[in-house]
Structure formats: structure tokens, C-alpha cells
A and B are shown apart, each in its own frame.
Chain A
Amino acid sequence: MVSEAGASEAGISEAGISEKGTSEAADALRRLDEILAQRPKPEQHLYSYCTERLTELRDRMIETGADRARLAHVNAIISVVMAGHFPLGAVPWEELQKARGWLAELVSPSDLQP
């Protein structure tokens, strides 16, 4: 874990992710919304974009020593997005919708402004 001062330098918010992190989360959320809007057959590159943003967010959280519960939260979202990208059978749309909700919790409304 980083020190309180370190956390401040990294811009870690109360939610446990940095300001930069919330912008990555917001970008991922936009992509996830596009995926959901294109149900049942979204463009595959959307999954990649979404995953990229989420893994950047995850890596930043690891580097800055974010709260483990928050990290697990983000990892769960990554798992579900990958499940949509590389499904074993049917795409788990219900779970993707849930993951959208979990991701939205990390993003403030202002981050979603274009």
C-alpha cells in the first residue's frame, strides 16, 4: 500500500482510484454501453477497447496501492467483459449488464461528459 502522502500525489480518490483512473473507467463505460447497445452482435473491437481501458485502470490501481476490494471489483468487471468477448457459449448479457452497473459506480457523472 502506498502512504497517505503517496496516495495524494497519485491523485487517489475516496473511491480508491485516481482521477486519471476515473477517466479510464468512464471511457470503458462508454465502450461497454456501445457493446450493450449493439446486442446481440457487437463489433469485436469494442470489447478490446473496453478491456484496454479497464486493464489500464487496474494497473494504475496496483501501482498506487488502491484498496484490494476496489481492485477485485475492477477485476470482476474485466472478467465479465472478457466473457462477452470470448464466450464459452451464449454471451452472458445479463452479467454484462450487471458489470455495467459495477463500472458506473466508479465513474462520476461529470466524467461521462463528451
Chain B
Amino acid sequence: MNRYQFEDLISEYIENQLSLSKRKEFEAYLKKNPDSEELVYSIKDNIKKLNKMPQLTTSSTFNERLMESVGKSNYNPNEDKLNKIIFGFTPAYASLMMGLVVAFIFISVQLINPSSDPQQFQSEYLTDEQSPRNVSNSNNIDNNQNQDLVEAIDDSIKADSSIQIKRDFSNKIQFVND
């Protein structure tokens, strides 16, 4: 143990917080260095003096003046309800969090169910070149083929968006025996 290590451990030694092995090492150092022993004794003595320092006490009018201050303060006990903490947040933060949650839910719903209008969906997800309007205006592309393509897309979109509508195919079904 050197001098620096010794100085670092003085408080722990005085407060009896050293492990047994460290304590033995520390005490061995003290025996070898009488001035160190004196230093430890002196620090112990200072701690005792600090503990015995006279305690100041507040003036006799302290409580009276405090109550005057309490009375004068703008504090309203009825406002306590507003100051209460909601799930670990102050009311302001709780409101903000609630707003964020609502916004998150709204955006999530929009992402999952982008649009109930198939035409809108079509215009959003088809590129300009695929757009039926552009296709019909183009002179370079085969109009019939494009028209088929558009109709096919329309059908698929309608089929997707009207899952719940059950069509009656009974008239169109022909059995072999018929």
C-alpha cells in the first residue's frame, strides 16, 4: 500500500467499511508509518468536532411567518385536482400523450384501410402511364388492350373493396345435367 492508496481509504477505515483483508493491510501501513496513524486520529477528532457543532435554530417567529406566506400565496387547495399526476405524467404531459396516442391510432387506421373509394385507390396506386385517362388519350397504344386492362383492374378493385357484399351467382351457374 502506498501513500495515495492509504489516503483514499482513510474514511472507509474510520467508518469501518473496509473488508477484513483491506483493514489488515491498512493497519499494517499505520504501524509502519506513525505519522499516518496521527493523521487518522486527527481526522477522527475533526469529525467528532463537526458532529458537535452547535445547531442553529430558527427564529421564534418562523412558523408564524411561514403561515403568513402560505396564506398570501396564490395556492388554491382546489387546484390540487389539476396538479395530480396521471399515470406518472402531469396533466399537461398526460394531455400531450393522449393527443399523440389518438394521432397514432388515426394514422394507423389510415394506413391499414387507405380508402374505401376504389376510384381514389385506383388513382393513388396506378402510375400516370397506367391511368385509364392517359391510356385512352394515347394514340400510340392499342386502345382495346388498354381498355381491357382498365376494366380488369376495376373489377379486381371492386372485388377487393366489396368483400362483404355477397353476390348472387345462382342464375349464372349451370349444372351439367341442365
Q: Do A and B actually bind?
A: no
